[in-house]
């Protein structure tokens, strides 16, 4: 596999889940690990200042979410670990994209990666893709709802080894903004110093594709097996690919 000609765009921006790693890895490996270990992890590390700050953020988020979600408890204070853990499990079950939740998940996953209990999944073609884009000096960036920390961990401890050398920079909902809003993509373009029209964004989520397109980015939608179906309108609006091999072989 090789690039037949250098792409017209100047940067590649990639979603993670459903695009370069399988949804099943996140859904069946990472999420359950965090869900099963959250209370034990918080109780065992609550004296650590970094974890204290995360707990405070989770308490604040809990109080806000409890106003309109009856399944969410209002913790008495930062020492009410059972209530905080309950809320984390509730949010994981509902696949909530809350910054405090994503930050905690990243920390828990770091422990799992470092201990060798988890290896980051990447689709088979990704090593060649990364090398090909590196060869033609097109930088690769990541934009995921998972925290930057979690993103780095997945690449550092991936099944192809340490892949962080292929990634120029990472963006999440904290440093860029929500993935369904065009302004987030404009912010990324500004931060990397490349006009939106010169950035190719790949995602499996139709709403993200629409937001990026609205911001002026080039967009392809990845329709791998197991991904959520997209509308006929999206099929007509965007080029759809089922493997990133199509980036270099089309």
Residue 4 scores a pLDDT above 70: no
What is the average pLDDT across 168-186? 97
CA distance 142 to 172: 8
pLDDT band of residue 26 (cuts 50, 70, 90) is confident
Residue 169 scores a pLDDT above 70: yes
Of residues 250 and 98, the one with the higher pLDDT is 98
Confidence (pLDDT) at 42: 98
pTM of the model: 0.81
Q: Residues 6 or more apart from 209 whose CB is under 8 A from it?
A: 201, 203, 219, 221, 230, 234, 237, 238
What is the average pLDDT across 150-164? 95
Residue 239 scores a pLDDT above 90: yes
Q: Residue 200 in 3-state DSSP?
A: strand
Residue 98 scores a pLDDT above 70: yes
* Percent of the chain whose predicted confidence (pLDDT) is above 70: 97
What is the average pLDDT across 198-219? 98
Residue 5 scores a pLDDT above 80: no
Sign for the pseudo-dihedral over CA of 225, 154, 200, 190: positive
CA distance 104 to 196: 31
Neighbours of 248 (CB within 10 A): 18
Residue 2 scores a pLDDT above 60: no
- Domains annotated for the chain, with CATH where assigned, are 11-21+120-249 (3.40.50.1000), 27-114 (1.10.720.60)
What is the average pLDDT across 46-55? 96
Q: What is the mean pLDDT of the chain?
A: 94
pLDDT band of residue 9 (cuts 50, 70, 90) is very high
């Amino acid at each position: 596999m090789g690039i037949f000609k250098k792409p017209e765009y100047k940067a590649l921006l990639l979603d993670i889940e459903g695009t370069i790693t399988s949804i099943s890895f996140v859904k069946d490996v990472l999420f359950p690990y965090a869900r099963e270990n959250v209370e034990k992890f918080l109780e065992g590390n609550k004296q650590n200042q970094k974890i204290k700050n995360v707990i405070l953020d989770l308490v604040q988020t809990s109080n806000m979410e409890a106003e309109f979600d009856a399944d969410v408890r209002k913790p008495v204070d930062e020492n009410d670990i059972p209530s905080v853990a309950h809320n984390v499990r509730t949010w994981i079950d509902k696949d909530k994209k809350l910054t405090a939740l994503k930050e905690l998940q990243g920390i828990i996953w770091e422990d799992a990666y470092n201990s060798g209990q988890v290896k980051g999944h990447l689709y088979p073609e990704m090593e060649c893709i990364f090398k090909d884009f590196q060869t033609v000096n097109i930088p690769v960036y990541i934009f995921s709802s998972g925290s930057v920390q979690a993103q780095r961990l997945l690449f550092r401890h991936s099944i192809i080894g340490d892949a962080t050398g292929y990634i120029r920079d990472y963006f999440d909902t904290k440093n860029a903004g929500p993935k369904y809003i065009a302004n987030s993509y404009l912010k990324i373009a500004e931060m990397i110093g490349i006009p939106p029209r010169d950035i190719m964004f790949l995602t499996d989520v139709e709403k993200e594709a629409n937001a990026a397109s609205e911001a002026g980015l080039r967009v392809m939608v990845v329709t791998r097996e197991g991904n959520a179906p997209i509308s006929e309108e999206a099929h007509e609006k965007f080029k759809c690919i089922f493997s990133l091999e199509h980036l270099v072989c089309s």
